[in-house]
Structure 1
Amino acid sequence: MSGQNIDSLFKDDQISVITFSTREATFAIPLEQVKYIEKDVKRNIKVGKLDRFNHEVITYQNNAVPLFDFSILTGSRSQFEENQELIAMLNEREKEHKDWMDALENAIKNDASFNKAIDHNECAFGVWYNQFTTNDSDLKEVLDKFYEPHKRIHKLAESLLTSAKEDKTHALGRLEKERHTTLAELLRLFETARERIRNSDRPIIVFVEQNNSAIGALRLDNIQDIESFSLKDFSRDTSTEGIMKRNETDFVIEGFLRRGDSAPCMLINCQPA
């Protein structure tokens, strides 16, 4: 097939699509252009340094076909990249709380000054924690459990530093007990949160038919649904700038599908005329 325009994409004024989303928008691919869908098991071969005009290679029915990362095509960040950044941040915040306990122990043992955050809202983790939001209900459930042990950790500073003035040995004993209870609980939560983030990364490979019966593939963060729209739900995209405008030999944003008051999704044509 050498190319499809809007009229040929809609059959009897109807089109069925698979929908998926990025952080910025929702997209749709005509179901008739989809050949196969599989989980991304990282069996692809990278070709040089990837940018929005390059791709990897994956096999389909024993043939090598181009694999485009959709986040690169659209100039956005993939869920994998965001997750890796979030995990790295949690690693840093975990280390900071281990260091916080060590600094408190040093202050008690050596009558040294203690310059770490005493208010649990003022450490780097506390600032992030009070601002961070997520739509992942499982991750939110884990994060909600951080509040109490994190607050208890920071309350130790004032209490133990005061206690140490009267009985340094007793203060150090209490600190050691908190290492094996409150701090241990906090460290378990950090690991649980990281594991939940890792498990949320489930990219999908969608094989599509392109022009002249060529097969290509797209790596997506997710697939949401299969939906049907009528021609009256479609609005053509007449802009010359924006998402994927520079890659029109492979995929084209033809316009927007919208039903009622729902948010629009961008219709991608894998076989641009």
Structure 2
Amino acid sequence: MNIEHNPIEVEENEESWLILKLKEQTFAVNCQDVIGIFRAETEISQMAGYSGHVRGVIDFRGSVVPLLELRSVLGMTAFEQEHREFCDMMELRKGDHIRWVQELQRCIHEKDEFKLATDPHQCAFGKWYDSYHTDNQSVLLDLRKIDEPHKKLHETALKVFECNHIQDEEARKIKEEELMQKASEEYMPKVVRLLEEMKQVYKEGFREMCVVIADEKEKMLGLLVDEVTAVESLSAVESKNLFNSAFSASCVNHVAKSKNIKGEVFVLNKDILFSKLF
């Protein structure tokens, strides 16, 4: 594991907080407790005696430091499971568009009504695409590559319907075959290929970080997080008992706000985090 100590500059007389991201949620730990930040890049040693929230241990400055899965502690889906679900969804959407082309071809040959989505925003992928949010720029960039061929694929059905106005049967069949060739040999394969590539892009875009904190007895703990984003000043806005959350609130001291961060920041309780080791 590539370990680097990152000194955090704190303004005199001002309490500062290290801002962490897990999924779409923002958390914070006191900068005074942070003694190291580095990217989790290598295999971790296993050691008995810890809770299921601990992934393993590392050698940090000559000391054995346990690594706490913060997603696990907060009741969030582990990244490995999240990635599997994403891959499964991509596989389903690939199959959808292969069958879409097959069904359009069948309807042309059998002169049957085509009942699948002609609007790219109304198929299962289109609905997911329009509602999907992520801060991962690599994922967003590759998703945008799908937009054009996906739109052209669905537009093929509308263009096929327009062929019904061609009076000459031979000319109509030629036009329909041209459209289906575009759909089956160009648009659909490109959509399927890009959906397949998305599985690897999603995985590669995840760059897990480790934040090492220490308690008053100088015991150390590594927090595994999705991202470390900034150092901020925070102002508390309400008690932890006054908010509802999709994750476990047991490790949260209070909810805070920052002028530079959109939404709420959940300030983590250091003592509770250490108690989750065993």
Length-normalised TM-score, structure 1: 0.69
Q: Which residue of 2 aligns with 1:225?
A: 230
Give 2:169's match in structure 1, choosing from 166, 169, 172.
166
Question: Could you tell me which residue of structure 2 aligns to residue 15 of structure 1?
Answer: 15
Q: Which residue of 1 aligns with 2:26?
A: 26
Partner of 1:182: 187
Q: Distance in 2 between matches of 1:271 and 1:160?
A: 65
- Compute the displacement of 1:136 (Å): 4.1
Number of matched pairs: 253
Q: 2:67·2:223 contact (CA, 8 Å) conserved in 1?
A: yes
> Per-residue CA shift, 1:128-158, capped at 9, x if unaligned?
2333344444444443443432232223235
- CA spacing shift, 1:79–1:225, aligned 2, 3 Å: farther
1:204 aligns with 2:209: yes
- 1:204–1:222 contact (8 Å) kept in structure 2: yes
The verdict on how the C-alpha distance between 1:76 and 1:47 changes in structure 2, with shifts beyond 3 A counting, is farther
**Once the 2 structures are TM-superposed, how far is the Cα of residue 13 of structure 1 from its aligned partner?**
4.1
- 1:99-248 alignment runs, 5 A limit: 99-109=99-109, 114-160=114-160, 162=163, 166-167=169-170, 170=174, 171-172=176-177, 174-210=179-215, 212-227=217-232, 229=233, 235=236, 239=240, 246=250
Asked if the contact 2:93–2:124 (Cα under 8 Å) also holds between the matched residues in 1, the reply is: yes
Greater mean alpha carbon deviation, residues 104-113 or residues 158-167:
158-167
Q: Does the CA-based 8 Å contact 1:28-1:268 persist in structure 2? A: yes
Deviation at 1:73, TM superposition (A): 1.6
1:35 maps to which residue? Answer: 35
The structure-2 alpha-carbon separation of the partners of 1:105 and 1:255, relative to structure 1 and needing over 3 Å to count, comes to: closer
Distance 1:47 1:158, change over 3 A: farther
Q: Which amino acid aligns with 1:148?
A: E
Shift of 1:95: 1.7
Does the Cα contact within 8 Å between 1:211 and 1:271 map onto a contact in 2?
Answer: no
Q: Is the CA contact 1:39–1:203 (under 8 Å) kept in the aligned structure 2?
A: yes
1:5 aligned partner: none
Amino acid at match of 1:190: L
SS of the residue corresponding to residue 223 of structure 1 reads strand
Separation of aligned partners in 1, 2:186 and 2:199? 20
Deviation string, structure 1 residues 191-236 (Cα, Å, up to 9, x no partner):
4544442332111122222453332221101001234x4xxx6549
CA RMSD of aligned residues (A): 4.1
Q: Give the 3-state SS of the residue equivalent to 1:26 in structure 2.
A: strand
* Aligned partner letter, 2:41: V
Which one-letter code corresponds to 2:211 in the other structure? V
Does the CA contact (< 8 Å) of 1:236 and 1:254 recur in 2? no
- Taking a change above 3 Å as real, the CA distance of residues 133 and 67 of structure 1, as seen in their structure-2 partners, is closer
C-alpha displacement of 1:97: 0.5
Whether 2:267 is the aligned partner of 1:267: answer yes
Paired with 1:44 and 1:241, the residues of 2 have a C-alpha distance of: 38
* Corresponding residue for residue 60 of structure 1: 59
- What is the alpha-carbon distance in structure 2 between the residues aligned to residue 237 and residue 112 of structure 1? 61
Give the 3 Å change call, closer, same or farther, for CA 260–166 of structure 1 in structure 2.
closer
Q: Distance in 2 between matches of 1:160 and 1:261?
A: 51
Identity of aligned residues (%): 19
Counterpart-to-counterpart distance in 2, 1:47 and 1:102? 54
- The answer to which of 73-82 and 198-207 deviates more is 73-82
- Which amino acid is the alignment partner of residue 57 of structure 1? G
Q: Which runs of 5+ in 2 are unaligned?
A: 1-9
Residue 43 of structure 1 contacts residue 58 of structure 1 at CA under 8 Å; is this kept in 2? no
